[in-house]
Amino acid sequence: MNRLTVAWRNVTRNRRRSLITGGIVAFGFVSFALAGGFMAQSFDGLRQSAIRSGLGHVQFADARAFEKSESSTLEFGIRRAGAALAVLRTDRDAEVAMPRLEFYGLVSTGGTSIPFGGTGVDPQAEARGSDIPKTVQDGQWLQADARVVVIGRGLAKLLNARVGDDLTLLVTTPDGTLNAVDATVGGIADILIRELSERYLALPLPLAQELLAAPDTVSRFSLILHDGANESAAAVRLGSALRQAGFDLGARLWRDLAVFYQQVRVLYIGIFGFMGTVLVVIVFLSTFNATLMSVTERTREIGTLRALGARSRRIATGFVLEGALLGLASAIGGALLSLLITLIVNLAEIHMPPPPGMAKGIVIHVQVIPVVYLLAALAMIVTLAMASFLPARRAARAPIVESLAHV
């Protein structure tokens, strides 16, 4: 006879009550596990979205470019970009290396002139490593050597421009002179953020370099890594390889650059934390009544145990053990139920409206996160143990003769 055995026998003493209490706890567990699994899936989706929005897994640029804006065109530009790109593209973890040349200028249809934020890109690399080319609904994405541009739908509207229209791009070159090139609207991209859409203009890198009179120069490199690659290790290794090749560049991981992702993450964690707290309180209040009844029914038994010489603490810990055991059993039941519901939900392919920052709706997919299961089990066990402890401690400290006289 050990204390665990006795505790379990007491748990199964009133089966109906234990089942109801256990059901509440299992429900709490399922809520935790499913919410956690859905949140993890959302984080994963947002992460992919952030990385594929053009950030890449790792970016390399002049270290100052990560700290402040350029005060003049290509102030922090990277010269001999082709050589640097070759270093990046030969790394074992690099899937796609995307050179970018960022600048500002005026775009004109002849009648209207609008400021724009331009990005010179490698069209093929972007098509592989970024989701922006996929947002081009009118026309098509850039071609490597063509004198075409892709503009945001907002900018197109401001310019009243359509696919096939001719534009003039006017910029200030790094040496301070004005330069201009003519290009054709090859496609219109649906950029979700309005401010960005009204300024977005992408053009092939050679055309951008010609416009800025900055051959073989870029602003930064954005790198997509193979699945499973260690981002931090790759950043360090590539930084070192670039230094050996004569490039003293800073590196930033996507999570340091994805402000929106971080904000949403904090928001989700806050919501999940609040929901979790409410859930624990609900489970606590729901189970407290059951444990209080159980303790009250056993008042005379408690008096007997104390008469036999059991200390109050031993009696209270016995009830806590019962609560913890019921919590554990319920958590196991909750885990099995969660797995079943997860399987059903994932197979059902339930569609949801687009979340903030995404163009398309998503299919609900719940992940099974062992850490969430573990935390949920811990939360439920501790909650039930606490719900048992409070009435048990009070009963175990009551005068023995009163307990023995309890009917």
Residues engaged in binding other proteins (CB under 8 A): 1, 6, 9-10, 13, 300-301, 304-312, 314, 399-401, 404
Contact 29, 282 (CB under 8 A): no
Nearest-approach distance from CB 317 to other proteins, in angstroms: 13
Tell me the one-letter amino acid at 181.
V
Closer residue to other proteins in complex, CB, 248/402: 402
What are the two backbone dihedrals, phi and then psi, of residue 225, each rounded to the nearest 5 degrees? -100, 160
Number of helical (H) and strand (E) elements in the chain, helices listed first: 14, 12
User: Residues 55, 34, 343, CA angle at the centre, nearest 5°?
Assistant: 95
As measured in angstroms, the least distance from the Cβ of 395 to other proteins is 15
Q: Judged by CB, which is closer to other proteins: 290, or 372?
A: 290
CB 62 within 8 A of CB 249: yes
Please report how the helices 231-244 and 81-89 are oriented relative to each other, as an axis angle in degrees rounded to 10: 140
Helix or strand or coil: residue 131?
Answer: coil
Whichever of 201 and 316 has its CB closer to other proteins, that residue is 316
Q: Which is nearer to other proteins, 256 or 402 (CB)?
A: 402
Least distance in angstroms from the C-beta of 313 to other proteins: 8
Q: What is the per-residue DSSP string for 312-348? A: HHHHHHHHHHHHHHHHHHHHHHHHHHHHHHHHHHHHH
Min. distance of Cβ 392 from other proteins in angstroms?
16
CB-nearer residue toward other proteins: 374 or 401: 401
CB atoms within 10 A of CB 161: 20
3-state secondary structure of 354: coil
Q: How far is the CB of 17 from other proteins (least distance, A)?
A: 15
User: Smallest distance from the beta carbon of 260 to other proteins, in angstroms?
Assistant: 58
Q: Which is nearer to other proteins, 20 or 398 (CB)?
A: 398
- Smallest distance from other proteins to CB 384, Å: 19
Nearer residue to other proteins within complex by CB, 5 or 69 = 5
DSSP strand pairing (113-121 vs 136-139): unpaired
Report whether 221 contacts 206 (CB < 8 A).
no
- Give the nearer residue to other proteins in terms of CB position, either 82 or 399: 399
CB of residue 387 to other proteins, shortest distance in Å? 20
Residues 6+ apart with CB under 8 A from 281: none
Q: In whole angstroms, what is the distance from residue 185 CA to residue 144 CA? A: 14
